[in-house]
Chain A
Amino acid sequence: MPAEPVAVVGIGQTKHVAARRDVSIAGLVREAARRALDDAQLTWADIDAVVIGKAPDFFEGVMMPELYLADALGAVGKPMLRVHTAGSVGGSTALVAANLVAARVHATVLTLAFEKQSESNAMWGLSLPIPFQQPLLAGAGGFFAPHVRAYVRRTGAPDTVGSLVAYKDRRNALKNPYAHLHEHDITLEKVQASPMLWDPIRYSETCPSSDGACAMVLTDRVGAARSPRPPAWMHGGAMRSEPTMFAGKDFVSPQAGKDCAADVYRQAGITDPRREIDAVEMYVPFSWYEPMWLENLGFAAEGEGWKLTESGVTGLDGDLPVNPSGGVLSTNPIGASGMIRFAEAALQVRGQAGEHQVEGARRALGHAYGGGAQFFAMWLVGAEPPAT
C-alpha cells in the first residue's frame, strides 16, 4: 500500500522577539498552535496526536517540557511525541509528524517546535562546562567560523559574500511580520562595518537569540479536501545524520546534507533543483552558510555557490529566492528554527506568504541542520498533490 499523501493545512507562528515577557512557556506554544488551528479552521478535538520538538532542555531548564505542555496543546488523552535532533529538530519534528499521517496511523496531527531562550541564556546552554576539557570558546559562532574560512579558501569567494547574504535576509525580514529583527535602517555598509566577532564572521552575519514557536497542522487527503485554504503537499522528506567529528569529514559540505537532499529530490522527482524549485528556506545561522548550502543542496556546482549569491539569484526577486522570510539570520528560536523553514516553504507554495511571497512559487524546499553540521532534515512541498 503506498504511503498516504501528506498536506499542510494550517500554519501558525508567534511574533518572534528577544523575550516574550507576557507569556509562560505554555502561553507561547499555545499561541502558535492556536494560529495553526485557526488557519486550518479546526478545533482541538480534530487533532489526533501532537509531535513537539525543541533543542536542549537546559535552555528553559525544564526536563521533557512536553509533559507540562500536554494540557496547553490539547494533548491530554492523545499521543504526544518529543523529538530532539539538535538544530535540525524543527525539521525532524515535522517529518516525524508527517510520517504518522503517511503511515495512516493518524489522520490529522499537530506539530510544533519552540524555544523560549529568554528563560536562560543560549551561551550558557550551549557551553555547559565539561570537566577535563579545555574551554576554548563560547557559543556556536566560533565553532562554525573556521569552516567558513575553509570554504572561502576552497572556493576563492570574495570576502563580501557573507555581508550580501546578511543584508538580503535582513531586508527580507522587513516583509515578514513574524520575523524577530526588523532593522529598517539596515544598509550593506552597516553590515560590512559591524564588528568582527569570530573572524571571518561579523556581528551582523550572525543570528539573534529569540523566543518563538511555530506550529503546523498536517493531514491526509480527506483532511486536505476540507481545507479552507490551499494546502501545501509534501513531495519528499528525509533525515540524514553523520558523526560529529571523524577522519575525512567535510565540514564545508557534509555528505549527510548531500545525501539528504538527493533522497528528497528522488522522492519528489526533481532532477534539476536549480530550475525546478521556486523558493528555498534554508537554515543559515551565519551568513556564509547560504553559499555553502547552495552547493551542498545541489543548486550550484562545488565552488560556485557564492556566485549565485553575488549575482542576486537568491534575492527575493531573483530566480532562486533563498530565505524570503528573512531566515535564521533574522529569527532564531533555536528549536523552532527548522520548523519555521519548513513552514515558510509551505506558506510559499500555498501562496500565503504575504509581502514576502515569491510570485508563482509551486515547489519549495525547507531545510534544517544541526549539531556539528551532522544532522539534516529537509522537505519539499508543492502546490499540487504528489503524483501517486
Chain B
Amino acid sequence: MPEVLRAPLVVEFPFTRSLGPVQSAFLTGLRERTVLGVRTGDGRVLVPPVEYDPVTAEELRELVEVHATGTVTTWAWNPAPRSQQPLARPFAWVLVRLDGADTALLHVLDAPGPDAVRTGMRVRVRWAAERTGAITDIACFEPYGSEPAPLPRAHNGSFPRTAAGPAAEAVTGIVAPARLDYTYAPGRAQSDHLAALAERRIVGERCPSCRKIYVPPRGACPTCGVATGEQVEVGPRGTVTTFCIVNIKAKNLDIEVPYVYAHIALDGADLALHGRIGGIPYDEVRMGLRVEPVWHDGARHPDHYRPTGEPDADYDTYKELL
C-alpha cells in the first residue's frame, strides 16, 4: 500500500466585522483609553458591554464609564503562550471586574510568575501604544495596588475630543484576521488514487455490492454505504457528458478564460469526473466529445483533456451519466 498522504492546509481570512452601537462605543472608548460599560434595566453594569441583557434579553443601550482599575475574580497561569495570544512571554489569563462594573472582562495579566497572581488582587489596564479600536487596545493588565473606586459615570458614547486632537471618528468595524493551520490527510482510497495518478494511471474502485466503479474513489460506495477496495483502472479516454464555459477569472486560479469545465465519463467508470478541456476552441466543445488526458511533467493531475479525434459519442450512450 502506498504511503499515506498528508499536506498542510491553511485556512486564513481577515474577517470584516461591523460592530453595532454598543460594541462600537466600547472599542472607540478603548482607543481613547476609556472603558465603557452598559447598564441593565435592574441597574447592573456589564463590562465589557453587550448589546442584549444575558438574563432578560432586553436591548441595552445606556452607556457608563468605569475605571481602568479592577480586581481579579479568577486566573490561570499560562506557561506556554500560543502564537496568536496577546503576550509572547508566560502570562496569566484573568477575569477582571473593573471598578464600577458588576461583571468581569476576559483578558491577560502581565506578571512575573504564578506566585505573583491571586484572586482578589488589584490590577489596572496597560494600554497598547498603538490603538485602533479593538480589544487588544488593552495590551494587558498589570498589578497595581490601589483602593477600589466603585462608581461608574454616565457616558454618551461619543468622543468629540481626544488627546490627539478633535473629532475622532467612531470605530464601527474591526478587521479580525484568523489563521488556522491543519494537516490534511485524504485517507486510504484517495491516497491510492493519487499514487496511481503519479504514474499517470487513473484508478477507480469498484463497489463490492452494486459493482459500480467510482472515480475518483472516496472509500465508500455512496449508494450502498460499504467500503470500496477493488481497484480498477479506467480511461484514459472518455466522453464529455456536459460542460460549461467559464468566462470569469477566479482569484487564486491560474487558468486563462474562457475555458471549458467539463464532466467527463472515462471509459469504464460509472460516473463522470471533472476536468478542463483544451486543444480545441472553447466554442467547439460539445456534449459527446471524445477526449483523453494530457499530462504535464511534475503535475499530479492531468492538466486538461483534449479531443481524441474519434466520432462523438451518441447521446444515448452517456445520458445515464448526466
A80 interface residue, CB < 8 Å from B?
no
A127 to B287: give the CA distance in the assembly, Å.
26
A137 to B56: give the CA distance in the assembly, Å.
47
B18 interface residue, CB < 8 Å from A?
yes
Q: A27-B20, A138-B253, A149-B244 are in contact. Are A61 and B13 (CB under 8 A)?
A: yes
Cβ–Cβ < 8 Å partners of B51 in chain A:
24, 26-27, 30, 72
Whether B7 lies near A131 (C-beta < 8 A) is yes
A23 to B253: give the CA distance in the assembly, Å.
33
A312 interface residue, CB < 8 Å from B?
no
Q: A24-B51, A61-B176, A131-B7 are in contact. Are A247 and B210 (CB under 8 A)?
A: yes
Q: A118-B16, A120-B13 are in contact. Are A244 and B222 (CB under 8 A)?
A: yes
Cβ–Cβ < 8 Å partners of A135 in chain B:
252-253
Q: A71-B57, A243-B223, A247-B212 are in contact. Are A146 and B18 (CB under 8 A)?
A: no
CB distance from B21 to the nearest CB of A (A): 8
Whether B52 lies near A30 (C-beta < 8 A) is yes
A145 interface residue, CB < 8 Å from B?
yes
B263 interface residue, CB < 8 Å from A?
yes
A124 to B246: give the CA distance in the assembly, Å.
18
CB distance from B20 to the nearest CB of A (A): 4
Pick from A21, A61, A129, A136: contact of B173, CB under 8 Å: A21
**At the interface with chain A, which of B28-36, B143-151, B156-164, B267-275?**
B267-275
Interface size on B, residues (CB 8 A): 67
Task: With CB as the reference atom, state the residue of chain B lying closest to A119.
Answer: B15
Pick from A61, A76, A128, A198: contact of B57, CB under 8 Å: A76
Cβ–Cβ < 8 Å partners of B77 in chain A:
none
Q: A58-B11, A132-B190, A142-B244 are in contact. Are A26 and B222 (CB under 8 A)?
A: no
Pick from A24, A124, A199: contact of B244, CB under 8 Å: A199
Q: A21-B173, A130-B184, A247-B212 are in contact. Are A76 and B322 (CB under 8 A)?
A: no
Cβ–Cβ < 8 Å partners of A311 in chain B:
none
Whether A153 lies near B184 (C-beta < 8 A) is no
B214 interface residue, CB < 8 Å from A?
yes
B54 interface residue, CB < 8 Å from A?
yes
Interface size on A, residues (CB 8 A): 63
Whether A24 lies near B19 (C-beta < 8 A) is yes
Task: With CB as the reference atom, state the residue of chain B lying closest to A72.
Answer: B52
A388 interface residue, CB < 8 Å from B?
no
Pick from B176, B223, B258, B300: contact of A248, CB under 8 Å: B223
B178 interface residue, CB < 8 Å from A?
yes
A306 to B15: give the CA distance in the assembly, Å.
41
Task: With CB as the reference atom, state the residue of chain A lying closest to B213.
Answer: A247
A135 to B254: give the CA distance in the assembly, Å.
9
Q: A149-B287, A154-B322, A243-B222 are in contact. Are A138 and B54 (CB under 8 A)?
A: no
**At the interface with chain B, which of A212-220, A249-257, A317-325?**
A249-257
Whether B242 lies near A153 (C-beta < 8 A) is yes
Pick from A21, A134, A196: contact of B172, CB under 8 Å: A21
Whether B20 lies near A22 (C-beta < 8 A) is yes
Q: Which of B263-322 contact A (CB under 8 A)?
A: 263, 270-271, 274-276, 287, 300-301, 315, 319-320, 322
Whether B16 lies near A146 (C-beta < 8 A) is no
A124 to B222: give the CA distance in the assembly, Å.
27
CB distance from A43 to the nearest CB of B (A): 9
A197 interface residue, CB < 8 Å from B?
yes
Q: A129-B10, A142-B246, A150-B242 are in contact. List 4 more A-B contacts (CB 8 A).
A: A21-B173, A131-B186, A150-B287, A247-B271
Would you list 8 pairs from A and B whose C-beta atoms are within 8 A, ordered by A residue? A71-B54, A72-B52, A76-B54, A118-B18, A132-B190, A135-B253, A148-B244, A246-B223
**Which residues of B line the A interface, CB within 8 A?**
5, 7-11, 13, 15-20, 23, 50-57, 59, 172-173, 176, 178, 184, 186, 190, 194, 210, 212-214, 221-223, 241-248, 250-253, 255, 258, 261-263, 270-271, 274-276, 287, 300-301, 315, 319-320, 322
